[in-house]
Amino acid sequence: MSGRRLFPLLLIPFAAFSQPAGKGLTLETVPVHGNVYLIATTLGNIAVQTGKDPGHDGILLVDTGPPGMTPAIVTEIRKLSDAPVRFIVNTSADRDHTGGNDSLVKPGAKLFYQQPEVGIFAQDNVLTRMSGPQSNVPSAAWPTLTFDRGKRFEFNGETVELLAEKNAHTDGDGIVFFRGSNVIATGDIFRTTGYPVIDVPRGGTIQGEIKALNHLLELTVPHAMQEGGTMVIPGHGRLCDQADVTDYRDMLTIIRDRVADLIRKGKTLEEVKAARPTRDYDRRFSTSEWTGEMLVEAVYKTLKAGNL
């Protein structure tokens, strides 16, 4: 039996505790590797890093869910640790990933004992978007620790690396690599529940998206039999490994190449859409919120705007 075929078996004991959080929303907390846990919700994933030293360590969260979910998320965190939340990392400016920022950092919210100041990390453009004139995001939710290309620090006994993925899903994407635990939280550059949302008005491009997935593949190592391998937490959907990222990258590369080919043949956007370059993937990845046709339009626009 190959290592790859063993992988689903390894996940069976991980099925941990789950709780309904109202309005049909369910949260499930799953150990990933080392210090890292996944709080999986129907509205997106939150990664939790914990430590073992109560005097020095704390909680680091990757993303905070949509607004209104904080009490349910805190209940899940408290099953893992009593330590205070010290850091939040936002993987983009999307409200389904930043909606709990302000309620988690609010002093006096009494969600955590000895509530310290909570640092919020994100790429520079996340702050630009959140603090811009069009934004109605409260200032308490804005990032306080921003980076351009990346940032590296030690927390909970391991190196945590934040890496910008430029102009992929948006112009503010970042991923989090827990080096010791060997886990990467990707945000919405990678999701198992649908195509990546290439948000062209907010700086997303297909070229940046594929580049980000290739970067992810450089950072990850595959599973070898029962041990090792980098675990990948997508923005939405199930826990993954390198092979899943490879499949996703290949799918998008094929779609990109099909659209590029049609553009070279002089086809208009309507003609490209009519050719349905995503046809064979739509059953798996097209959703009512972000259809194959919407992806094709985003790919077409960004290829037309850049180099083919």
Which residue, 83 or 239, has its beta carbon nearer to Zn ion? 239
Q: Which part of the chain contacts Zn ion (CB under 5 A), choosing from 119-127, 151-159, 187-195, 220-228? A: 187-195
Which residue, 155 or 190, has its beta carbon nearer to Zn ion? 190
Which residue, 44 or 58, has its beta carbon nearer to Zn ion? 44
Cβ 192 to Zn ion, closest distance in Å? 12
Which residue, 96 or 244, has its beta carbon nearer to Zn ion? 96
Sheet holding 59-62, edge to edge: 17-20, 26-33, 36-41, 44-49, 59-62, 85-89, 119-123, 145-147
For 23, half-sphere exposure in the C-beta direction (CA atoms, 13 angstrom radius) is 6
User: How many chain residues touch Zn ion (CB under 5 A)?
Assistant: 4
Helix (H) or strand (E) holding 294: helix 292-305
- Exposure of 142 by Cβ count < 10 A (0-12 exposed, 13-18 middle, 19+ buried)? buried
Q: Which part of the chain contacts Zn ion (CB under 5 A), choosing from 60-68, 157-165, 181-189, 220-228? A: 181-189
The verdict on 66 binding Zn ion (CB under 5 A) reads no
Q: Which part of the chain contacts Zn ion (CB under 5 A), choosing from 80-88, 95-103, 243-251, 300-308? A: 95-103
Cβ 195 to Zn ion, closest distance in Å? 12
Q: Which part of the chain contacts Zn ion (CB under 5 A), choosing from 96-104, 148-156, 226-234, 296-304? A: 96-104
Cβ 45 to Zn ion, closest distance in Å? 8
Return the structure tokens found at 180: 């010791």
Beta bridge partners of 187: 234
d(CA 80, CA 29): 9
Cβ 235 to Zn ion, closest distance in Å? 5
Site for Zn ion in 196-255 (CB under 5 A): 235
Which of residues 63, 96, 173, 241 is near Zn ion by CB under 5 A?
96
**Going by DSSP bridges, is the β-strand pair 119-123/231-234 parallel, antiparallel, or unpaired?**
unpaired
Which of residues 57, 102, 171, 188 is near Zn ion by CB under 5 A?
188
3-state SS class at 83: coil
Which residue, 142 or 290, has its beta carbon nearer to Zn ion? 290
3-state SS class at 90: coil
Cβ 24 to Zn ion, closest distance in Å? 18
Q: Which part of the chain contacts Zn ion (CB under 5 A), choosing from 40-48, 63-71, 220-228, 281-289? A: 40-48
Whose CB is nearest to Zn ion?
A: 188
Number of residues assigned to the chain: 308
Q: What DSSP letter does each residue of 220-289 carry, written as one string? A: ----BTTB---EEEESSSS-B-HHHHHHHHHHHHHHHHHHHHHHHTT--HHHHHHT-TTHHHHHHH--SS
Cβ 82 to Zn ion, closest distance in Å? 29
Beta bridge partners of 162: 151, 176
Contact positions vs Zn ion (CB under 5 A): 44, 96, 188, 235
